[in-house]
Amino acid sequence: MSLTSSTKFAQPLPLNTTSSRSKEHKLLFEPFRTNTFLGSTHKLRCFNSLSKSNQTNLHRRSAIVAVSDVVKEKKSKSSTNLLITKEEGLELYEDMVLGRAFEDMCAQMYYRGKMFGFVHLYNGQEAVSTGFIKLLKQEDSVASTYRDHVHSLSKGVSARAVMSELFGKATGCCRGQGGSMHMFSKEHNVLGGFAFIGEGIPVATGAAFSSKYRREVLKEADCDHVTVAFFGDGTCNNGQFFECLNMAALWKLPIVFVVENNLWAIGMSHVRATSDPEIWKKGPAFGMPGVHVDGMDVLKVREVAKEAIGRARRGEGPTLVECETYRFRGHSLADPDELRDPAEKAHYAARDPITALKRYMIDNNLVTEQELKTIEKKIDEVVEDAVEFADESPHPHRSQLLENVFADPKGFGIGPDGRYRCEDPKFTQGTTKHSVQRRSKPSRQ
């Protein structure tokens, strides 16, 4: 398979990374300019300004090669040409099925009143999380968004710990204090889910800086850790995105910026909200490669991820990867999802990344239906177990309320006597009195 048929890379100049790279690398990083937007039912505004022949040519080059087409291309070739081994395929499949089954269960539990606040599901986007995170080491870091359950699962946080967190229980990965939008695990280097869009990007940039600092200043030669920051298309119109691209390129940080472009920011279509909807093009503007990949195909995402993570690990700097994907449910479980065109939904539903991987593996005789069914059954049990565990787990103690809210717990949450200030009946009186006094003073202005 030629990745260029589904992947677009633009490279800033100069960038001296191609000299020692393989032919595949050259293919990947070959400048590939096109103005069509993969899979989108919308046309870009600038598309109209192209000549007719260019339009046809560009359209042909950017057509999606679904996994099924890849299979057709591959049929006559030997199995050694496959993009994955059986073990890798099973790992990817299991991770995606876990993500899907977990989220479906979340929907059930949410509507049964077991979860509080907003819950944003990841259905449809699994190929992005799995394609990237399954290539990472434990020491590598991941920064997520409020759509963070599946990133955490892919990074190794147990289904029990994530489900318990969603139930607000003490056994959750944040002891029930974070909830759906704030998954965190120091052990797994999950740097957090973030409710404010774009907030995770500078945190990820800081983590990447610390890896570089440890390696180059503290001389920890084995510190080659990489950080992957996931965020949405709507978030790319936020200033933090641009600031962090600049710093990461300037300092050649070991980071991959992964845009999960699901074409929508709540009810705002990406093509309506963004001056140039091809986000990948912003990479070269800041001095780093920009890539556009079919985010419904885990194998293509994985090929791109290998290269981008490898670049970061080798000290060659950041990459911006735009994965075109789609969420199969509403923005959150509170969203009736009435704004998106049913034809658009059907278009992407037909490209379900889990079904596509299954077909690829079966058609290439990597696995049998039965082997995949065994995985699906195992995952059902894992998710059932997570729910039982979360349900039976205790609620956090009230004394936990202000822990980890302030950097210095003695400064506000806990008084000098070691007791929680909120337990002091005079807890709010002081501030009220102070503000009344201040208001009664004559103004100097």
Ligand X SMILES: Cc1ncc(C[n+]2csc(CCOP(=O)(O)OP(=O)(O)O)c2C)c(N)n1
How far apart are alpha carbons 78 and 366 in whole angstroms?
12
Q: Which does 50 bind (CB under 5 to 8 A by kind): ligand X, Mg ion, none?
A: none
* CB nearer to ligand X: pick between 147 and 188: 147
Q: Which does 278 bind (CB under 5 to 8 A by kind): Mg ion, ligand X, none?
A: none
> Helix (H, G, I), strand (E, B), or coil: what is residue 261?
strand
Minimum distance between the CB of residue 396 and ligand X, rounded to whole angstroms? 25
Tell me which residue has its CB nearest to ligand X.
232
* CB nearer to ligand X: pick between 84 and 265: 265
Q: Which does 331 bind (CB under 5 to 8 A by kind): Mg ion, ligand X, none?
A: ligand X
According to the binding rule CB under 6 A, does residue 7 interact with ligand X? no
Residues 6+ apart with CB under 8 A from 263: 40, 233, 269, 270, 271, 324, 326, 344
Minimum distance between the CB of residue 99 and ligand X, rounded to whole angstroms? 14
How far apart are alpha carbons 277 and 435 in whole angstroms?
48
* CB nearer to Mg ion: pick between 99 and 234: 234
According to the binding rule CB under 6 A, does residue 212 interact with ligand X? no
According to the binding rule CB under 6 A, does residue 334 interact with ligand X? no
E-state strands within 148-273: 227-232, 255-261, 264-265, 268-269
Angle at which helix 369-392 crosses helix 159-166, to 10 degrees, equals 40
- 293-322 positions binding ligand X, by CB under 6 A: none
Q: Which does 196 bind (CB under 5 to 8 A by kind): Mg ion, ligand X, none?
A: ligand X
According to the binding rule CB under 6 A, does residue 266 interact with ligand X? yes
Interface residue with ligand X, options 38, 90, 191, 265 (CB under 6 A):
265
C-alpha dist (Å) from residue 55 to 42, 46, 60, 104: 15, 11, 9, 40
Interface residue with ligand X, options 74, 100, 147, 188 (CB under 6 A):
147
Task: Read off the tokens for 271.
Answer: 């093509």
How far apart are alpha carbons 55 and 302 in whole angstroms?
29
How far apart are alpha carbons 425 and 177 in whole angstroms?
24
According to the binding rule CB under 6 A, does residue 196 interact with ligand X? yes
- Tell me how far apart the terminal alpha carbons of the chain are, to the nearest angstrom: 72
According to the binding rule CB under 6 A, does residue 278 interact with ligand X? no
According to the binding rule CB under 6 A, does residue 197 interact with ligand X? yes
The strand pairing partners of 294, in sequence order, are 324
According to the binding rule CB under 6 A, does residue 233 interact with ligand X? yes
Cβ 336 vs Cβ 330: under 8 Å? yes
* CB nearer to Mg ion: pick between 263 and 312: 263
Q: Which does 235 bind (CB under 5 to 8 A by kind): Mg ion, ligand X, none?
A: ligand X
Main-chain phi, psi angles of 259, to 5 degrees? -90, 120
Minimum distance between the CB of residue 249 and Mg ion, rounded to whole angstroms? 24
Cis amide prior to 442 (ω within 30 degrees)? no
Within a 10 A sphere around the Cβ of 317, how many other Cβ atoms? 23
**Which stretches of the chain bind Mg ion, using CB under 5 A?**
232-234, 262, 265
Interface residue with ligand X, options 154, 158, 177, 235 (CB under 6 A):
235
Interface residue with ligand X, options 331, 358, 366, 382 (CB under 6 A):
331
Interface residue with ligand X, options 132, 167, 184, 264 (CB under 6 A):
264
Interface residue with ligand X, options 193, 234, 254, 295 (CB under 6 A):
234
Residues 6+ apart with CB under 8 A from 191: 141, 142, 143, 144, 184, 200, 203, 204, 207, 227
Minimum distance between the CB of residue 268 and ligand X, rounded to whole angstroms? 7
Residue ranges that bind ligand X, judged by CB under 6 A? 147, 195-197, 232-235, 260, 262, 264-266, 331
